[in-house]
Amino acid sequence: MSFFPNPQTFVSFSIGTLTFDIRWYAMLILTGAFIAYLVMRKNLKETRYFDMDFFDSIFVYTLWAGIIGARIWFCVFYDFKYYFSNPAAIIRVWDGGLAIQGGLVFGALFAYFYCRKKHYSFLMLADNVLPEVLIGQAVGRWGNFVNKECHGAEVNEEYFNGILSFLKEGMYINGHYYEPLFFYESLLCILGFCLIYFVLRRYQNKRGDLAWAYMMWYGVIRFFIEARRTDSLYLGNLKMAQLTSITFLIVGLLGYIGILDRFIKKQKPTLIFDFDGTLVDTRESITEAYRHLFRKYSDESKFTDEIRNEIIGPALRDLFPKYFPGVDYDTLYKDYRERQSEVSKTANHPTEHSVELLKSLHEQGYHIGIVSTRSKEGIEGILDTFGLREYVDDICGLKEVTNLKPDPEGIFYLVNRNNWEHDTVMIGDSLMDIGCGSNYGAYTVAYISDPQREEELKKAANETIVSMDELYGILNKDISFTYNKK
């Protein structure tokens, strides 16, 4: 194995009679892609929206789609007749020839359809990955330096005096010095990333803003770079990269000012409801069942107002050991359910407007699920009592998951099981419900059923409502239903 056999080759090795070269150009492109990947992954984790297995898959697939697209673009616009006559030459990437515009177009098309298939928002993905693509482009451009390409017109030797002196030798090509356009584009890519990532992201108004900004920025800088470049790809007498850059600029501008919004069909978000205290007021039956247990296995005087507030929401398996240490769980559960069933016949009732709400949302085509710490069978029984079961598509109860709220496992269970949209609204009446939605990356709506919880719920949730019919107004807003509101 021989390292650095020539300026363009990173490493060369032989297997039998075959010799293989790994070029610096490839190494720099992959290095840029890897750095961008690390920043993308960090951002996507913070959104609490994307599953990381999904992102790892789409990154690898899109990278390959981009490489294939970049090669096809080059072959079509560099010398179509030659490559059409010699199709075997198309796969000889190691001889040079990748066009970044083709990589971006093919990569974006693949990512769009893959997001559609997996029910993720393409614009949400684009906002979190396209600014980082500028990092990959900035690093990858140095592959052009190694290959002595992406340069401008001839310049005098004095052009490289001062801070450009380190580029002088590399820009000496066939007896002449050339303007290092690759270097200027690399710097402008880094500047663009900093402006979009550190500045614009703080003032982002709607989903897609960062993606559109990327297209505008890269369209502008690439247009002017290509205007001075002497080794461009052409479509007839026109530089292909400039035509693509103009398209990028126009599409980015139309998207940023909102004109494209009318052509982008918005998917209805998945709706996940808590059950107790949200859809059905079960406070009285829960309170009475616990009072019965305190009376029988502890001391009813210990059943304080603080405990009455605490028992609404958490799972029985979490609270029974706390209040009744040493008492068998199955015994407690049996007594609890018997007493609750007796009381619930007269005590339980749907919360105000919840019946009309579920029926209307179901008719409008929303996917509706319930995540609760109660058993699925118990929920279905109560829903049947009030004629609501047909309006709920699926239920995740106590036995369907390992981790209960505020862990988001229940939402993941329903969304993945039913292949629903990942844009989700979580509606609940406790911090545990809002925490579950936030941990998933959902837009959270707190239903204020207890005035004593209003202050803490307002701080935790994206929105608060005091009547279930207020949910209509929220769903009709022109917003994206994710944790960060973008």
Q: What does the DSSP assignment read for 68-106?
A: HHHHHHHHHHHHHHHHHH-GGGGG-GGG----HHHHHHH
Which of 211, 235, 263 terminates a domain? The answer is 263
Beta strands in 280-342, from DSSP E residues, in sequence order: 280-281
Whether pLDDT at 74 is above 90: no
Instruction: Tell me the average pLDDT of the chain.
Output: 89
Residue of 127, 209, 274, 423 marked active site: 274
Question: Catalytic annotation on 261?
Answer: no
pLDDT at 79: 78
Q: How far apart are CA 343 and CA 143, in angstroms?
A: 75
**300, 429: one domain:** no
Mean pLDDT along residues 90-100: 75
Mean pLDDT along residues 321-331: 93
pLDDT at 486: 46
| pTM (predicted TM-score) | 0.78
- Looking at the domain assignment, is residue 7 inside a domain? no
DSSP state of 153: S
Q: Are 40 and 55 in contact (CB under 8 A)?
A: yes
Give yes or no for a cis peptide into 406 (omega within 30° of 0). Answer: yes
The amino acid at residue 179 is: E
Whether pLDDT at 268 is above 90: yes
Q: How far apart are CA 316 and CA 339, in angstroms?
A: 14
Encoding tokens for residue 156? 């005098």
**13: Cβ contacts below 8 Å, ≥ 6 apart:** 1, 2, 19, 20
Cα dist. 386→245, 343, 357, 394, 472 in Å? 59, 16, 13, 17, 21
Whether pLDDT at 4 is above 50: no
Encoding tokens for residue 110? 């693949």
Q: Are 420 and 398 in contact (CB under 8 A)?
A: no
**293, 394: one domain:** no
**258, 293: one domain:** no
pLDDT at 102: 87
Q: Could you tell me how far CA 270 lies from the centroid of its own chain? A: 15
Q: How far apart are CA 194 and CA 200, in angstroms?
A: 9
Whether pLDDT at 410 is above 70: yes
Helix (H) or strand (E) holding 176: strand 176-178
Number of folded domains in the chain?
Answer: 3
Mean pLDDT along residues 17-36: 81
- Looking at the domain assignment, is residue 483 inside a domain? no
Which of 327, 347, 367 terminates a domain? The answer is 347
pLDDT at 456: 93
pLDDT at 78: 76
Lowest mean pLDDT among 67-76, 95-104, 341-350: 95-104
**89, 213: one domain:** yes
Encoding tokens for residue 206? 């709607």
- Looking at the domain assignment, is residue 486 inside a domain? no
Residue with the bigger pLDDT between 212 and 346: it is 212
**210, 326: one domain:** no
- Looking at the domain assignment, is residue 6 inside a domain? no
* pLDDT tens-place string over residues 377-394: 989 989 998 999 999 999
- Looking at the domain assignment, is residue 155 inside a domain? yes
The answer for 150, left when phi > 0, alpha when psi is -120 to 50, beta otherwise, is: left
**114, 199: one domain:** yes
**253, 373: one domain:** no
Q: Are 314 and 286 in contact (CB under 8 A)?
A: no
- Give percent of the chain with pLDDT exceeding 90: 62
- Looking at the domain assignment, is residue 14 inside a domain? no
20 beta partners:
13
**Angle, alpha carbons 167-198-46 (nearest 5°):** 120
**360, 337: one domain:** no
Q: How far apart are CA 328 and CA 380, in angstroms?
A: 27
**179, 204: one domain:** yes
Q: Which residue has the tokens 């981009």?
A: 66
CATH (domain of 404) = 3.40.50.1000
Whether pLDDT at 17 is above 90: no
* pLDDT tens-place string over residues 195-250: 999 999 988 888 899 999 999 999 999 999 988 988 666 766 778 788 889 999 99
pLDDT at 348: 87
pLDDT at 29: 83
Whether pLDDT at 158 is above 70: yes
pLDDT band at 6 (very low <50, low <70, confident <90, very high): low
**384: Cβ contacts below 8 Å, ≥ 6 apart:** none
**124, 240: one domain:** yes
Whether pLDDT at 312 is above 90: no
- Looking at the domain assignment, is residue 198 inside a domain? yes
Which of 297, 319, 347 terminates a domain? The answer is 347
Q: Could you tell me how far CA 160 lies from the centroid of its own chain? A: 44
**367, 316: one domain:** no
* pLDDT tens-place string over residues 114-151: 999 999 999 999 999 999 999 999 998 998 888 888 88
- Give percent of the chain with pLDDT exceeding 70: 94
pLDDT band at 293 (very low <50, low <70, confident <90, very high): very high
pLDDT at 484: 61
Question: Structural domain of residue 454, as residue ranges?
Answer: 270-279+349-475
Beta strands in 390-468, from DSSP E residues, in sequence order: 394-396, 424-428, 443-447, 463-465
pLDDT band at 2 (very low <50, low <70, confident <90, very high): very low
pLDDT at 230: 82
Which of the given ranges, 19-28, 68-77, 363-372, has the highest pLDDT on average? 363-372
- Residue 201's Cβ-side half-sphere holds a number of Cα atoms within 13 Å equal to 20
Lowest mean pLDDT among 41-50, 84-93, 347-356, 417-426: 84-93
**343, 369: one domain:** no
Q: Are 121 and 211 in contact (CB under 8 A)?
A: no
273 beta partners:
370, 427
- Looking at the domain assignment, is residue 480 inside a domain? no
Q: Are 188 and 219 in contact (CB under 8 A)?
A: no
**Angle, alpha carbons 325-329-333 (nearest 5°):** 120
